[in-house]
Amino acid sequence: MFTYQAIRAVRYARFSRGLATAVNQGRVPAALHLKTGQTFKGTSFGADTSAFGETVFSTSITSYTESMTDPSYRGQILVFTTPMIGNYGVPHNEAPCDSQDVGVVLESKGIQCAAVVVGDVAEKYSHYTAVESIASWCKRHNVPGITGVDTRAVTTLLRDQGTTLGRLAVGADAALPAPAAHEYWDPTLENLVDQISTKEPYELNPTGEIKIALLDFGAKANIARSLVRRGAAVTVLPWNFDFNKVRDQFDGLFLSNGPGDPQQCMEAALHLRRTIAEWDKPIFGICMGHQIIGMAAGLDAYRMTFGNRGHNQPVLALASSGSIKAGRVYVTSQNHQYALKLQDPFPQGWEPFFINCNDSSVEGIKSTDASGKKVWGVQFHPESAGGPLDTIEMFSDFVSQCKAHKATAGFQPSFVSEATVEKVAAAA
């Protein structure tokens, strides 16, 4: 019995060595180094370049294309726990750009993450919308990838020690020793939002029924799509634009997702504090936007150990509002490292809206009805892309609140801008 097992073990070792040699032949070596001292070796795909970043894992099974183009992944080395990545290829990322749409099929124009780590990259792909492989897509966008890595081992490490700075070393770099601890680049020390946010305001669907301002902290395209497809005209504004200067022209304010540490965006939270105090129209924020709303309300944001990234995060609704029913669990799409601190009591005029069923972190806040305001923030992504659509109707809730407010608000002379007054006077 023992002999039989020994023979099998030797045969298997020879077989897998042979397989590894065959697979690695002609391949460029790559190594994922973590600042905590571990190294994972594999082979490279995509760009022939090395990259630093914050190493994070995502439990999403599909939608690598949407995740990789999500600006919230900027500066991050994205480890996919799903073993095979790339088998449905990458679509052509240009939508017919009439003013009704946002110009892209995916979540932004380029690949946003710094690098990708996969167990097994698919060389062959098959999908009716695919035009290229993940490897050629990464190459075109100068983003390196590593395959042949035990991503379960990397994930276990990241769960235990937390999100860790890393370097994906490719080619000759892979043979060099790992960088010294002080050499690792920490993206969270930079204002990543400022790097990605629009520099100039622009408008989508200008003939929409209601006018929404979208503060762009690194907005996923599906946020604008979800608003435009519900009939809103969307004006995209830079993240630090003082909305108070133009608020009289809008029926609602939306704060988008975005990369990095929310503390870097305190300026936006200060503008928003004033908006919430002085403006009574609906405000909705997602992920970074939710964190900014929380900071404006007086809550603190903290850095989680490994964050939540994936399309299978359950959240419990603690309050009912629009399509959301208290006591129900919704499965959500998420991508965040920071969260709002749960404090007791909550700031006056605010209540927790959702809580994460896995780790009890705050997943949403809302203004209480007594305050007379309609402000919501959710840590998860109701627009998904990718992920479940359990909470997509929150967009319809927001748009209908804006429409209802517009219908009942009537003419409010004190809120009308000089430009509007001039236009009204000219028309009279």
Known catalytic residues are 287, 381, 383
Q: Is 260 in the site for ligand GLN (CB under 6 A)?
A: yes
Interface with ligand GLN by CB under 6 A: which range of 225-233, 236-244, 255-263, 341-349? 255-263
Pairing mode of beta strands 283-286, 252-255: parallel
Q: Is 257 in the site for ligand GLN (CB under 6 A)?
A: yes
Cis peptide before 386 (omega within 30 of 0): yes
Could you give the angle at the alpha carbon of 126 between the alpha carbons of 125 and 131, nearest 5°? Answer: 80
Q: Residue 77 in contact with residue 186, Cβ under 8 Å?
A: no
Cis peptide before 206 (omega within 30 of 0): no
Q: How far is the CB of 232 from ligand GLN (least distance, A)?
A: 20
Q: State which residue, 249 or 312, has the beta carbon closest to ligand GLN.
A: 312
Q: How far is the CB of 260 from ligand GLN (least distance, A)?
A: 5
Give me the amino acid identity at 184.
Y
Interface with ligand GLN by CB under 6 A: which range of 136-144, 160-168, 334-342, 399-407? 334-342
Q: How many chain residues are in contact with ligand GLN, going by CB under 6 A?
A: 12
Question: According to CB under 6 A, which one of 336, 366, 373, 403 is a site residue for ligand GLN?
Answer: 336
Q: Residue 366 in contact with residue 353, Cβ under 8 Å?
A: yes
Pairing mode of beta strands 84-85, 120-121: parallel
Q: Is 43 in the site for ligand GLN (CB under 6 A)?
A: no
Residues 6+ apart with CB under 8 A from 36: 157, 161, 164
Q: Residue 27 in contact with residue 171, Cβ under 8 Å?
A: no
Measured CA to CA, the distance from residue 202 to residue 1 in angstroms comes to 73
Q: How far is the CB of 405 from ligand GLN (least distance, A)?
A: 26
Residue 240 tokens read as 């630090």
Q: Is 288 in the site for ligand GLN (CB under 6 A)?
A: yes
Q: How far is the CB of 333 from ligand GLN (least distance, A)?
A: 10
Q: State which residue, 72 or 133, has the beta carbon closest to ligand GLN.
A: 72
Give me the amino acid identity at 223.
I
Interface with ligand GLN by CB under 6 A: which range of 233-241, 314-322, 331-339, 402-410? 331-339
Question: According to CB under 6 A, which one of 259, 294, 382, 387 is a site residue for ligand GLN?
Answer: 259
Pairing mode of beta strands 39-46, 144-147: antiparallel
Sites for ligand GLN among residues 64-83 (CB under 6 A) = 72
Which stretches of the chain bind ligand GLN, using CB under 6 A?
72, 257-260, 262, 287-288, 335-338
